[in-house]
């Protein structure tokens, strides 16, 4: 996602934290909110010191592979390895506060990216980055349409986005929270598969795409927030 999508995911998660988790997390972040740190992992990308974390934002599972295979995974890291690393550092009683801060900020971001379907897209087109489309007449690509073009076109603040995803039943909420990290990856991969099938190179996208697809954008932001809260309540609650 872009900045607004990540902040919305973090804001939704914040609203589902237990009191204890909220307190522990605020302490670790020196009083800052989850939304405040949600884009840190993108903001450090241009610094050579942090270049190694570039591949951590996505995972590509090729269509002929049904499953995520650790032995075929990117040795530079991917979204699955990234989230596992963040959780393991945050579980480690011996880790220093600074290290925990870093991996918490990364985890908040990566749980968002996990729910942008094209962050679990195909390697051959770089998760849709190579599928060129027009967005209201301007050059874009299908990955960017999902990261930010649709959300930016609606011009909703991250708090409005967070509010707009709250009408959900308890049953549905429990269903969303169930499953493993890999189940969540496959869900995004399968969604990406459907979205690939509905777009062609050079498509002209605009208001129809916006209004057809935005409910799915909101659903993905909400899932990301709920699942991030579940992971954080497990670690800090």
- The footprint of Zn ion (CB under 5 A) covers 57, 113, 147
Residue nearer to ligand ADE on the CB measure, 24 or 129: 129
Give the nearest distance from C-beta 116 to Zn ion in angstroms. Answer: 6
Please give the structure tokens belonging to residue 188: 């995004």
Q: Which position's Cβ is nearest Zn ion?
A: 57
Q: 128: left (phi > 0), else alpha (psi -120 to 50), else beta?
A: left
- Tell me how far apart the alpha carbons of residues 113 and 39 are, in angstroms, rounded to a whole number: 11
CB atoms within 10 A of CB 90: 19
Give the nearest distance from C-beta 143 to ligand ADE in angstroms. Answer: 6
- Tell me how far apart the alpha carbons of residues 228 and 144 are, in angstroms, rounded to a whole number: 23
| Binding span for ligand ADE by CB under 6 A among 26-34, 85-93, 116-124, 134-142 | 116-124
Q: Which does 178 bind (CB under 5 to 8 A by kind): ligand ADE, Zn ion, none?
A: none
Q: Which position's Cβ is nearest ligand ADE?
A: 127
Q: Is 58 in the site for ligand ADE (CB under 6 A)?
A: yes
Q: Which does 22 bind (CB under 5 to 8 A by kind): ligand ADE, Zn ion, none?
A: none
Q: Is 121 in the site for ligand ADE (CB under 6 A)?
A: yes
95 strand-pairing partners: none
Please give the structure tokens belonging to residue 39: 């884009």
Q: Which does 147 bind (CB under 5 to 8 A by kind): Zn ion, ligand ADE, none?
A: Zn ion
Strand, helix or coil for residue 210: helix
Residue nearer to ligand ADE on the CB measure, 59 or 176: 59
Residue nearer to ligand ADE on the CB measure, 124 or 200: 124
Q: 66: left (phi > 0), else alpha (psi -120 to 50), else beta?
A: alpha
Q: Is 132 in the site for ligand ADE (CB under 6 A)?
A: no
Range 219-232 burial, b when 16+ CB lie within 10 A, else e: ebbbbbbbbbbbbb
Within 8 A by CB and 6+ apart from 202, the residues are: 132, 133, 134
| H helix or E strand, kind and range, residue 140 | strand 138-141
Q: Is 119 in the site for ligand ADE (CB under 6 A)?
A: yes
Give the nearest distance from C-beta 2 to Zn ion in angstroms. Answer: 8
Within 8 A by CB and 6+ apart from 123, the residues are: 60, 62
Give the nearest distance from C-beta 197 to ligand ADE in angstroms. Answer: 17
Q: Which does 81 bind (CB under 5 to 8 A by kind): ligand ADE, Zn ion, none?
A: none
Residues that bind ligand ADE (CB under 6 A): 58, 60, 119, 121, 123, 126-127, 129
């Amino acid at each position: 996602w872009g900045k607004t999508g990540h902040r919305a995911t973090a804001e939704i998660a914040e609203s589902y934290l237990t009191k204890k988790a909220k307190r522990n997390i605020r302490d670790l972040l020196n009083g800052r909110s989850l939304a405040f740190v949600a884009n840190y992992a993108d903001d450090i990308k241009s610094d050579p010191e942090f270049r190694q974390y570039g591949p951590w934002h996505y995972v590509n599972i090729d269509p002929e592979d049904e499953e995520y295979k650790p032995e075929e995974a990117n040795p530079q890291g991917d979204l699955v390895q990234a989230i596992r690393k963040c959780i393991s550092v945050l579980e480690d009683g011996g880790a220093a506060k600074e290290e925990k801060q870093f991996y918490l900020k990364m985890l908040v971001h990566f749980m968002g990216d996990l729910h942008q379907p094209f962050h679990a897209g195909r390697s051959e087109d770089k998760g849709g980055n190579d599928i060129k489309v027009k967005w209201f007449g301007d050059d874009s690509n299908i990955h960017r349409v999902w990261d930010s073009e649709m959300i930016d076109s609606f011009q909703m603040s991250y708090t409005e986005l967070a509010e707009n995803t709250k009408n959900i039943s308890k049953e549905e909420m429990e269903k969303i929270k169930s499953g493993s990290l890999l189940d969540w990856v496959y869900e995004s991969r399968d969604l990406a598969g459907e979205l690939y099938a509905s777009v062609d190179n050079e498509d002209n996208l605009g208001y129809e795409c916006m209004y057809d697809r935005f409910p799915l954008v909101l659903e993905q932001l909400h899932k990301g927030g709920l699942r991030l809260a579940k992971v954080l309540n497990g670690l800090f609650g």
